Amino acid sequence: MLVAVDQYGQAVSLANRPNEQLIHEVRSSRHFCPSCRQPVILKAGAIKIPHFAHASSHACEAFSEGESERHLKGKADMHNWIRRTHEVEMEAYLPEISQRPDLLVDGKVAMEYQCSHMSVDLFVNRTEGYKQNGLFPFWIYGGPPIKKRAQLYHFSVFHRLFFQYSPLFGFWFLSYCPDRELFILYSQLIPVQSSLYFASVQMIPLHSLPYPPSFAKTSGSFLTLSDWFRQKQHWLQKQLYFRQGLYHPFLSTVYKTGHNPFLLPPWVGVPIRFMALIKNHPVEWQFYLWNDLLVHKPKAESKEAAAVLQERVRKGDLQLNMFPLFSFPTLLDLIEEYLLLFQSIGAMNEKESKTTLEQMEKERRFTEDFEELIMTRLIF
Ligand SMILES: [Zn+2]
């Protein structure tokens, strides 16, 4: 922790690069944890930045020991960044919810700089605690760098908890690297599989970003529909040959209903705005939608379509992603996007392909006719 109280109950902060004199003063008097009131000691060695730690190990509700250098430095950096223009309190205790955000900005924004892994439940509970207390939760990721594979980024279940949504940037994710004093913004996040995403990436030095952060929109399309179809083929092959094969609930439904997963109509498995809401590949939920509903009722309403997908979620065939930080878009918004496309391309008029060659030709024509329509609705 970077803030403790002295014997008179006054807060003593080490956030602003404490000088020798302050270090000396702190060393020569007693300090206490602002949460559990147990004694804390100053740790000011050569490696970590100066901070307080409990003198004896015991269960403290608000502070777990072993705060990393990365967390301490990141928290101090952000404190210095925000206080240039706004009121900010470090490690402020919120008694109503027994929570202590890393930073409390203008008494309204609870900022968490999260470096270590935590459970989904804990993340959701803390977020809900802030919301119930009238605060806006703002989580910034500080863990190990997001891994890049070819042109795709790997976002785990834990990473995805930090996802935010805005009409300008689509799904976005913000991380901060204290070693380089740099924010990294991943926006326009588009999944090609449950944890692999296309992204537009910007690096912004801490000192050049205002608070609240405002980012410039990056332009340029980085994904084409042919890329997408290639990725989809690759995904299908992987499921069939390396994973559960025919025991895969999606593949078994496809075969049982007399279809071939590689010869499905091209509108089954297209990229759709908001598709990150469903963890499964779009070919899965779009097939269920088509097979369970649209094949009999092409003009179905979005509510009927939502009921179909909810039923598949209940059966365990589909899984929704958990996004605690936003409430729009919803599953219904995703379905409306899909139905709009489905109905505007007159999707029911084509027969299924008989051969791979015929399928390739069909996807080529589909790309020619609908790439613009699909991609302009996908990327913001
Ligand atoms: Zn304590």
Give domain limits for the chain: 1-65, 68-219, 225-378
C-beta separation of 100 from 11 below 8 A: no
Task: Tell me how far the alpha carbon of residue 45 lies from the centroid of ligand 1, in angstroms.
Answer: 21
pLDDT band at 57 (very low <50, low <70, confident <90, very high): confident
Q: Pick the more confident residue, 98 or 304.
A: 304
Q: pLDDT tens, 14-51?
A: 988 788 888 898 999 999 988 888 999 998 877 778 89
CA of residue 372 to ligand 1 center, whole Å: 57
pLDDT digits (tens, 9 = 90+) for 180-208: 999 999 999 999 999 999 999 999 999 99
pLDDT of res. 378: 87
For residue 347, pLDDT beyond 90: no
Q: What is the pLDDT of residues 318-336, one digit of tens each?
A: 999 999 999 999 999 999 9
Share of the chain above pLDDT 90, in %: 69
Distance from the alpha carbon of residue 98 to the mean position of ligand 1, in angstroms: 12
What's the rounded mean pLDDT across residues 234-251? 82
Q: How far is the CA of 147 from the centre of ligand 1 (A)?
A: 35
Residue type, 297: K
Give distance in angstroms: CA of 179 to centre of ligand 1.
28
The residues, any chain, with a CB within 8 Å of residue 71's CB and separated by 6 or more, are 113, 115, 116, 142
Lookup: tokens for 285: 């939920």
Give the distance (Å) from ligand 1 centre to CA of residue 350. 67
User: What local confidence, expressed as pLDDT, does residue 60 receive?
Assistant: 78
pLDDT of residue 220: 57
User: How far does the centroid of ligand 1 lie from the alpha carbon of residue 116, in Å?
Assistant: 19
Q: 2: CA distance to ligand 1 center in Å?
A: 12
**Model confidence band, residue 249 (pLDDT cutoffs 50, 70, 90):** confident
Which residues have CB less than 5 Å away from ligand 1 (the ion)? 33, 35-36, 60
List, as own/partner pairs, every contact residues 104-112 make where C-beta atoms lie below 8 angstroms and the sequence separation is at least 24, other chains included: 104/135, 105/211, 108/134, 108/135, 108/136, 109/135, 109/136, 109/138, 109/212, 110/135, 110/136, 110/137, 110/138, 111/78, 111/138, 111/139, 111/140, 112/137, 112/138, 112/139, 112/140
| 102 has a pLDDT exceeding 80 | yes
| Centre of ligand 1 from the C-alpha of residue 136, in Å | 25
Single-letter code of the amino acid located at 359: Q
Whole-number Å distance, alpha carbon 40 to ligand 1 midpoint, is 8
Predicted pLDDT of residue 9: 87
Distance 61 CA to ligand 1 centre (A): 7
Ligand 1 centroid to Cα of residue 39, in Å, is 8
User: Can you tell me the distance from the alpha carbon of 261 to that of 318, in angstroms, rounded to the nearest whole number?
Assistant: 17
